[in-house]
């Protein structure tokens, strides 16, 4: 992708597609008058007759026939009321622009930045949101149709019409691109069929990522996990012919390996439920049960690109949850990596077992703070729907600082309580320290709370993305399928932590 730093005006720009924001109160738009004159007042006339709309998220495409013969077409992007336009809506609007550009097979575009600015949103913000939004909107789910001729390559050249500092604008655009690319990679991991993405494949992907960005990486196989006694991940893996993997990636930003944030991801490449088997319709889609792992790998990609001043350790537990004569069963009692015993009541409550061992390992690797991310429960969907990530925490201040990042990214997170009574139920068993399925009432809390038993005193945030990781249908920022949710929030949070250092 080529970001052209040679600033153009309407008169001098040579472009296939000129992208222009249209706000309700054009009198308040910077330089609208100049544009109006440039367009020979035609645009104002079209606005009056409705050929172009200033309604939010209405996008109109017109061939350009004005004085500058070097503009092929203009994309008019309705922004609505200037006062109420938020960064989230602008990002989504650019998502729709991305979809348009894709369908136009556009290779070149120019954004008039000032047409998208408001009193609160400045040129460099527009550049960032434009890159992020169009990059996300451009995404296509890879398919294996033998007749497929999809193009999923982003347009090649971007120019700006702007009065702002071009270096600053180009740098913001570049970061937005990095964010979108990383989210799209996480989406593709989620979208991969489970026969094409095993635990070994996730480890190979992580290894390539580590090599690209000069991270330390360690990949533990079945024999090594047995040596360590990681009964959680190993029990889930028992029914599988595929090896499990525990993947640890370290990014050391500072001289000392202290003040380390630990990211823990659920990488279940397929969840049949095991002997507590899922229904035939409930099983479809369980290829996405590695969405937490994908979110962390996506965040690590951004970290690799932007190099924030914050130490990070990422631990991903990966296996599938299958059935065979060797598989674990309800009634089994297993011993976890930290020595705690667990009575298995439900083999479909496997994610918490994988996360628990990965959490212990992250602490051992020096994590002083923990965030786990997982497609953990159907319960979070019942509680919050498909558009909100559910959260738990043992440390409100830590959680509040994470919320600031999610407000910036527009990824909605809502915290549920974790009470002493909930913990009692997780600890209720006549044969073991814990049980893995205290009940179906409020079970998002039991699942996350189980992981909390392994975080212990370490400040910890649990993110249940079962509802948000896999979109049920197309949305403004992309198609049905993997969303890459939490990639942007985690990366933004780590960026913010780095700024405090």
Which residues contribute to the site for ligand BES (CB under 6 A)?
271, 273, 289, 346, 348-351, 375-379, 437, 443, 466
For residue 285, the minimal CB distance to ligand BES (Å) is 6
For residue 392, the minimal CB distance to Zn ion (Å) is 17
Provide φ and ψ at 458, rounded to 5°. Answer: -65, 130
Phi-psi region of 385 (alpha: psi -120 to 50; beta: other; left: phi over 0): left
From 2-10, 134-142, 341-349, 406-414, give the range in contact with Mn ion by CB under 5 A. Answer: 341-349
Between 116 and 270, CB nearer to ligand BES: 270
Between 106 and 356, CB nearer to Zn ion: 356
Residue 467 contacts Zn ion per CB under 5 A: no
Between 247 and 376, CB nearer to Zn ion: 376
Catalytic residue among 26, 30, 122, 278: 278
> Rounded CA gap, 87 and 66, in Å?
32
Count of positions on this chain that bind Zn ion (CB under 5 A)? 4
> Rounded CA gap, 437 and 352, in Å?
10
The closest residue (CB) to Mn ion is 348
- Binding marks (x or -) toward Zn ion, 24..63, rule CB under 5 A? ----------------------------------------
Per the CB < 8 A criterion, the answer to whether 150 and 143 are in contact is yes
For residue 205, the minimal CB distance to Zn ion (Å) is 20
Q: Which two structure tokens, joined as six digits, stand for 422? A: 């909930």
> Rounded CA gap, 205 and 197, in Å?
10
For residue 350, the minimal CB distance to Zn ion (Å) is 6
Residue 352 designated active-site: yes
> Rounded CA gap, 494 and 327, in Å?
38
> Rounded CA gap, 374 and 290, in Å?
7
Per the CB < 8 A criterion, the answer to whether 139 and 152 are in contact is yes
Residue 379 contacts Zn ion per CB under 5 A: no
Between 40 and 439, CB nearer to Mn ion: 439
Residue 332 contacts Zn ion per CB under 5 A: no
Residue 388 designated active-site: no
Between 117 and 242, CB nearer to ligand BES: 242
**Binding-site member from 123, 201, 271, 357 for Zn ion (CB under 5 A):** 271
Residue 320 contacts Mn ion per CB under 5 A: no
Residue 348 contacts Mn ion per CB under 5 A: yes
Between 90 and 293, CB nearer to ligand BES: 293
**Out of Mn ion, ligand BES, Zn ion, none, which partner does residue 479 contact, by CB within 5 to 8 A per kind?**
none
**Out of Mn ion, Zn ion, ligand BES, none, which partner does residue 378 contact, by CB within 5 to 8 A per kind?**
ligand BES
The position carrying tokens 């990002």 is 91
Q: Which residues, 6+ apart, have CB-to-CB distance to 73 below 8 Å? A: 16, 17, 18, 61, 62, 63, 64, 104
Burial (CB < 10 A; 0-12, 13-18, 19+), residue 331, is exposed
308 three-class SS: coil
Between 196 and 277, CB nearer to ligand BES: 277
Between 330 and 366, CB nearer to ligand BES: 330
For residue 483, the minimal CB distance to ligand BES (Å) is 12
Report which secondary-structure segment, H or E, holds 445: helix 443-455
From 140-148, 283-291, 422-430, 479-487, give the range in contact with Zn ion by CB under 5 A. Answer: 283-291
Phi-psi region of 50 (alpha: psi -120 to 50; beta: other; left: phi over 0): left
Q: How is residue 312 annotated by DSSP?
A: E
From 174-182, 204-212, 225-233, 269-277, give the range in contact with Mn ion by CB under 5 A. Answer: 269-277
Report which secondary-structure segment, H or E, holds 74: strand 71-80
For residue 37, the minimal CB distance to ligand BES (Å) is 55
Q: Among residues 387, 139, 179, 195, which one has the least CA distance to residue 295?
A: 179
Count of positions on this chain that bind Mn ion (CB under 5 A)? 3
Per the CB < 8 A criterion, the answer to whether 426 and 435 are in contact is yes
Residue 271 contacts Mn ion per CB under 5 A: yes
**Binding-site member from 87, 114, 181, 289 for Zn ion (CB under 5 A):** 289
For residue 348, the minimal CB distance to Mn ion (Å) is 4
For residue 212, the minimal CB distance to ligand BES (Å) is 29
Between 184 and 272, CB nearer to Zn ion: 272
Per the CB < 8 A criterion, the answer to whether 268 and 355 are in contact is no
Segment 340-359, which members bind Zn ion (CB under 5 A)?
Answer: 351
Q: Which two structure tokens, joined as six digits, stand for 209? A: 């990522």
48, 52, 53, 59: CA torsion to nearest 10: 180
Q: What share of the chain is helix, strand, coil (3-state, %, to 5)?
A: 40, 20, 40
For residue 327, the minimal CB distance to ligand BES (Å) is 15
Report which secondary-structure segment, H or E, holds 496: helix 487-500
Q: Among residues 406, 405, 371, 410, which one has the least CA distance to residue 496?
A: 405
Site for Zn ion, rule CB under 5 A: 268, 271, 289, 351
Q: Report the catalytic residues.
A: 278, 352
Site for Mn ion, rule CB under 5 A: 271, 348, 350
């Amino acid at each position: 992708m080529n970001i052209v730093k040679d600033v153009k005006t309407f008169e001098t720009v040579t472009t296939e597609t000129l992208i222009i924001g249209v706000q309700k109160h054009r009198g308040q738009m910077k330089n609208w008058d100049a544009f109006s004159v440039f367009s020979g007042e035609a645009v104002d006339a079209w606005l009056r007759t409705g050929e172009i709309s200033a309604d939010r998220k209405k996008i109109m495409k017109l061939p350009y026939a004005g004085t500058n013969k070097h503009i092929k077409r203009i994309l008019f992007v309705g922004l609505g009321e200037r006062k109420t336009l938020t960064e989230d809506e602008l990002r989504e609007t650019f998502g729709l622009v991305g979809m348009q550009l894709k369908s136009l097979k556009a290779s070149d575009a120019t954004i008039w930045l000032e047409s998208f600015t408001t009193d609160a949103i400045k040129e460099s913000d527009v550049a960032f949101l434009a890159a992020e939004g169009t990059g996300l909107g451009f995404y296509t789910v890879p398919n294996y149709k033998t007749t497929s001729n999809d193009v999923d390559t982003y347009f090649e050249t971007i120019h700006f019409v702007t009065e702002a500092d071009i270096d600053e604008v180009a740098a913001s655009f570049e970061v937005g691109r990095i964010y979108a690319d990383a989210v799209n990679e996480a989406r593709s991991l989620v979208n991969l069929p489970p026969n094409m993405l095993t635990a070994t494949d996730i480890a190979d992907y992580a290894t390539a990522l580590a090599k690209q960005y000069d991270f330390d990486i360690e990949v533990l196989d079945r024999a090594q996990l047995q040596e360590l006694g990681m009964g959680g991940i190993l029990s889930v893996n028992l029914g599988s012919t595929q090896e499990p993997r525990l993947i640890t990636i370290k990014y050391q930003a500072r001289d000392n390996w202290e003040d380390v944030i630990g990211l823990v991801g659920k990488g279940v490449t397929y969840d049949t439920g095991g002997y507590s088997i899922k229904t035939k319709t409930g099983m479809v889609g369980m290829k996405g049960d590695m969405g937490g792992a994908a979110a962390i790998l996506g965040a690590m990609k951004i970290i690799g690109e932007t190099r924030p001043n914050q130490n990070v350790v990422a631990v991903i537990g990966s296996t599938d949850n299958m059935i065979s004569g060797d598989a674990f069963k309800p009634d089994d009692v297993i011993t976890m990596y930290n020595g705690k015993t667990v009575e298995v009541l439900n083999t479909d409550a496997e994610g918490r077992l994988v996360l628990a061992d990965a959490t212990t390992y992250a602490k051992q690797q020096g994590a002083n703070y923990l965030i786990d991310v997982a497609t953990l429960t159907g319960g979070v969907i019942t509680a919050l729907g498909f558009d909100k990530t559910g959260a738990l925490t043992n440390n409100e201040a830590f959680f509040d600082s994470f919320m600031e990042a999610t407000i910036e990214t527009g990824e909605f997170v809502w915290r549920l309580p974790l009470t002493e009574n909930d913990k009692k139920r997780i600890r209720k068993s006549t044969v073991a320290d814990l049980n893995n399925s205290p009940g179906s009432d409020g079970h998002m809390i039991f699942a996350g709370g189980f992981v909390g038993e392994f975080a212990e005193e370490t400040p910890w945030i649990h993110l249940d993305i079962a509802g948000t990781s896999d979109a049920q249908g197309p949305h403004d920022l992309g198609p049905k399928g993997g969303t890459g949710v939490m990639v942007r929030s985690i990366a933004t949070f780590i960026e913010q932590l780095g700024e405090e250092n």
